[in-house]
Structure 1
Amino acid sequence: MSKRYFVTGTDTEIGKTTIAAALLHAARVGGLSTAAVKPVAAGCERTSDGLRNEDALALQAECSPALAYELINPITLEAAIAPHIAAKEEGAALTLEILAGACLQVFDRERDLTLVEGAGGWRVPLNDDELLSELAVELKLPVVLVVGMRLGCINHALLTCEAIAADGLQLAGWVANHVDPDMSRPDENLATLQQLIKAPLLGRVPRLDNADAASVAAYLDVTPLV
């Protein structure tokens, strides 16, 4: 049976893509078919093939069988700023209906594990009226939360968990990703999070010099998801 999840984070730049790609890698190495969607990506480079986003390319590399880039990342925005601002400036349509339709095209592939990666944290605007979190609600997706382990992470994590629950969605699991190598009392912070977050801890990822999907996958347990 196909399993589908929405991957969000406690903030931007805390490793959502790194973790999502590693979870897909672990599933793929385990013999499962995989797919990913990054429905909107802000911060794309112009290439001979069109606008391309580094994170979306990392997800594409872990899709098996392969998926076309346009399926994985249907809305490409050049400016590396909040998506709703970039969309306005670049004249791009960014609506819940468009993103949901794009996700459903990938869901039709019926892969064993499909991950939809958000942008930034949980409450990211799409436009003046809609939030990206509403996409997970519309698609009824359980959520995987990436917690960026740094000062303030407990507050950010618990508020995000509360928001996910308030939206009526299940927190399927979470990952502790050590983004700050100089964080004080990381073990104590992790213990507090484990006590307070009522969902499986899928892994604790240290700060790695080479954080490619294969290296990170060694620290994750994809079993609760598949």
Structure 2
Amino acid sequence: MFCGGGLMTMTASARPHDFFVTGTDTEIGKTLCSSALLHALAQQSLRSLGLKPIASGAELRDGIWHNDDVDSLITASSVQAERSLVCPYLMQTPAAPHIVARNEHVTISLPQIVANYQQATTLSDAVIVEGVGGFCVPLNDDCDTADMAQQLALPVILVVGLRLGCISHTLLTAEAIRSRGLRIAGWIANTVNPDMLYLQDNVAALEQRLGAPLLGQIPRLTGSATEQVAAAAACLDLTILK
């Protein structure tokens, strides 16, 4: 498969603490959960490093382009790395990546993303790679985020945004993940709508149907970003990850 000018080669990781984080949609808490995973891994004395290879929506501050998701991963990581390693494709406009990439003349290369991941493994004990949007977001005319996940060949942690419609979104996403030959190592229930009717019944339905362990349920959190990450990490049980 060609995507962004390079031939794809599958890479399988034997590292037990490396995961790809995806979600049932955009704005459902992938970054919060990815940051919480990094925080929890660091609490286990593991050198943790978060990557978000593609991010759209950036603001120039003190001569540096910042993205809130990227900044959160950098803060939560116990290993500090160059921003270009953490996020090789940071685009300015907060919109669908393939549209922004085209308009900003950016060519997204999956080989580069794989190379960044491989470099990250030399710096850390645990790498969390956060996707962009949902699982099948286009990156250009030839590939999408599912291709990216497939080339990284990492176990997947699925973030489920608890709101109306989450059961169907979750099961369809799980089906797409498995169709790429990827394993769902676990899932996280993140409360997007605290007023959701029958919230716990929805969680129970997913536990019954998803065929993957629930790592934790995160309530709607308040406080600073750092406080929220620590509180979310406390909700997770990483001992059940395999």
TM-score, normalised with respect to structure 2: 0.89
Q: Secondary structure at the match of 2:55?
A: strand
One-letter amino acid of the counterpart of residue 57, structure 1: D
One-letter amino acid of the counterpart of residue 180, structure 1: N
Structure 2 partner of 1:53: 67
Structure 2 partner of 1:74: 88
Within-5 A mapping of 1:124-203: 124-203=137-216
Correspondence 1:21 to 2:47? no
Correspondence 1:114 to 2:114? no
CA distance in 1, matches of 2:148, 2:37: 21
One-letter amino acid of the counterpart of residue 150, structure 2: V
TM-score, normalised with respect to structure 1: 0.95
Please tell me the root mean square deviation across aligned C-alpha atoms, in Å: 1.4
Between 44-53 and 187-196, report the one with greater CA deviation: 44-53
Q: Secondary structure at the match of 2:65?
A: strand
Q: Secondary structure at the match of 1:122?
A: coil
One-letter amino acid of the counterpart of residue 221, structure 1: D
CA contact (8 A) 1:10 1:153 kept: yes
CA distance in 2, matches of 1:104, 1:113: 12
Structure 1 runs of 4+ aligned residues shifted over 3 Å read none
One-letter amino acid of the counterpart of residue 76, structure 1: L
Deviations 1:132-185 (A, max 9, x none): 111111121110000000000000000000001100000000000010111110
Stretches of structure 1 lacking an aligned partner (at least 5 in a row): none
Structure 2 partner of 1:206: 219
One-letter amino acid of the counterpart of residue 150, structure 1: R
Aligned positions, number:
225
Q: Among 88, 94, 104, which residue is 1:90 paired with?
A: 104
Percent sequence identity over matched residues?
A: 45
CA distance in 2, matches of 1:20, 1:53: 15
Q: Among 38, 51, 57, which residue is 2:52 paired with?
A: 38
CA distance in 1, matches of 2:114, 2:125: 19
Structure 2 partner of 1:222: 238
Stretches of structure 2 lacking an aligned partner (at least 5 in a row): 1-14
Shift, 1:108, TM fit: 2.6
CA contact (8 A) 1:83 1:125 kept: yes
CA distance in 1, matches of 2:231, 2:53: 25
CA distance in 1, matches of 2:180, 2:21: 15
Structure 2 partner of 1:103: 117
CA distance in 1, matches of 2:140, 2:43: 38
Structure 1 partner of 2:5: none
